[in-house]
Amino acid sequence: MHYDSTIKRFNELQNMSNIPSDLKYAKSHEWVRVSGDTATVGITDHAQAELTDIVFVELPAVSRQVKAGEACAVVESVKTASDIYSPVSGEIVELNKPVTDNPGLVNTEPTVGGWFFKIKLSNPAELNTLLSPEDYKKQIGG
């Protein structure tokens, strides 16, 4: 029992340290990396660790218009299926096809190769409603 709790605590600490400072975060565990008027969206390291092994990713259609907080993608793990919400409003302009072929990228590279889609921002001010890395750490118990 002690061994299991030690492993769990180690994993929690490891997850808390992987909160890149160049990202903004949604309370629903998506991250946003902004470049000009486009944002890349994925799920956080914390979220992928909670989901465990991701086996399927369904992405939104290119040119789809989404509103902040709208469910627009799905991930399935060996444990559950979860909706992915767009943290910002805009038009989906690019998909990360490799995650549909290799969903494990979301587990191994959640903030690099495991991103889901890029969205052209229709309301950049919405970025101000997202969490800073420090606030996200607090939300997940860091």
Exposed (0-12), middle (13-18) or buried (19+): which is 20, by Cβ within 10 Å? middle
Number of independent structural domains in the chain: 1
The whole-number average pLDDT for the span 2-7 is 48
**In 4-14, which positions are buried (b, 16+ CB within 10 angstroms) versus exposed (e)?**
eeeeeeeeeee
For residue range 6-20, list pLDDT tens digits in order: 444 444 444 445 899
For residue range 28-77, list pLDDT tens digits in order: 999 999 999 999 999 999 999 999 999 999 999 999 999 999 999 999 99
Let me know if residue 138 belongs to a domain. no
Let me know if residue 76 belongs to a domain. yes
The domain containing residue 102 runs over which residues? 2-124
pTM for the model: 0.88
Let me know if residue 130 belongs to a domain. no
CATH of the domain at 37: 2.40.50.100
Per-residue pLDDT at 4: 52
Name the residue type at position 103: P
The whole-number average pLDDT for the span 116-122 is 98
Let me know if residue 132 belongs to a domain. no
Per-residue pLDDT at 120: 98
Per-residue pLDDT at 6: 46
Higher pLDDT, 128 or 1: 128
Let me know if residue 129 belongs to a domain. no
17 HSE (CA, 13 A, CB side)? 6
Query: Quick one: DSSP state of residue 124?
Result: G
Beta strands in 5-142 (DSSP E): 24-25, 30-35, 38-43, 54-58, 65-66, 71-77, 81-85, 90-95, 117-121
Let me know if residue 107 belongs to a domain. yes
